[in-house]
Amino acid sequence: MFKTALQRLTLWYLCIIMLLSVGFSISLYNVSTRELNDSQKQLESLLEQSFFPGMRAPNNFQEFNRVRLQQIVDSRNKIKWNLISYNIVIVLAGAAASYFLAKRTLEPIESNLEAQARFTSDASHELRTPLTAMKSEIEVALRSDELSIKDAKNLLTSNLEEIDKLESLSAGLLKLAQNDKTLPVEPCPINEIIEEAQGRVESAAKLKQISFQIKTDDEVVMGERWSLVELFSLLLDNAIKYSPKQTKILIAAETKPRTKQVGISIQDHGYGIAATDIPHIFDRFYRADRSRSKEVIPGYGLGLSIAKKIVDLHHGRIEVHSQLGKGSKFTIWLPVV
């Protein structure tokens, strides 16, 4: 599909270039031969007329006019052939330039389509995994002749877990698919946002005996309250997921009056991220190597893509500093009120 689009666009660009070039050449030819045409007409009439009434023009004068007439014809032919060769060069150079331009034009569309296709295939794969697990569990249970109430309950509990996974996956996909261009922003006190986000991850933190240390003042940022709560919940959730038990998470905020921004950082003392993984962690479905932690950490690799999308919608910035085995620090820069 791309090959034909590329060929068509190249052809269109070439047509435009040739239309301009041929148009320019025709006008140039008309302008530059107008005077030659006038002179040619004068010379022709001189050659046909007698020099004085009743007298023939001297031979050398007629010869001179004939030479001049030939020069005019030659000059016009020269202009014509020069313009034709110029247009042949333009066709060749224009074809190469058009191909290059068409390729440059289509490149972002092509990479966008590729990313979309990858996203769709990753999403289908992730959606299929829990469905396959549920299907095979149900099939095994149906084949069994002695399915007790206890077995049935176990099956339903396991199916419910898979449904929860599917629910969170489809919620993540929906958030990424939403095409919000702008958000209704309002002044949001950071303390309140962090408190709300902390409430959402409290049970997970308790389970791992992870405590929070909060160092914020009265910073207020411009943003959409619930998106910001979602953003910090995602970062806190990751900080908990990728930290061992009984560690601390530090949440701090600082204002940079010069850039009119507030930086809110979430620092954990967890497993950290390898330098080679850092450039990819915001990609959809990207999950770094988990072999360094012994526990199986749930997730689909969508959290940071959603976080990045929220930050972008706020015209903010997200920074990551991380060291394997020491921990990670995510800093979000948002516009101050």
List residues near ligand ADP by CB under 6 A. 238-239, 241-242, 268, 270-273, 281, 286-288, 299-305, 328
Amino acid (one-letter) located at 325? G
Among 270, 229, 215, which residue's Cα sits nearest to residue 248? 270
What's 56's DSSP letter?
P
In degrees and rounded to multiples of 5, residue 333 shows phi and psi of -105, 120
Tell me whether residue 90 or residue 273 sits nearer to ligand ADP (CB atom): 273
For ligand ADP, which is the closer residue by CB, 23 or 279? 279
Closest distance to ligand ADP from the beta carbon of 296 (Å): 12
Residue nearest to ligand ADP (CB): 299
Question: Residue 284: helix, strand or coil by DSSP?
Answer: coil
Cβ closest to ligand ADP, residue 126 vs residue 219 = 126
Please identify which residue in the block is written with the tokens 């034709």: 84
**Closer CB to ligand ADP, 94 or 327, in the complex:** 327
List the structure tokens of 157: 């509990």
DSSP string of 83-148, one letter each residue: HHHHHHHHHHHHHHHHHHHHHHHHHHHHHHHHHHHHHHHHHHHHHHHHHHHHHHHHHHHHH-S---
Instruction: State the nearest-atom distance from the C-beta of 239 to ligand ADP, in Å.
Output: 5
Task: Please identify, using beta-carbon distances, which residue of 32 and 168 lies nearer to ligand ADP.
Answer: 168
CB 270, min distance to ligand ADP, A: 5
- In the complex, the smallest distance separating the C-beta of residue 151 from ligand ADP, rounded to whole angstroms, is 32
How near is the Cβ of 286 to ligand ADP at its closest, in Å? 6
- Which residue is listed with tokens 């206890």? 150
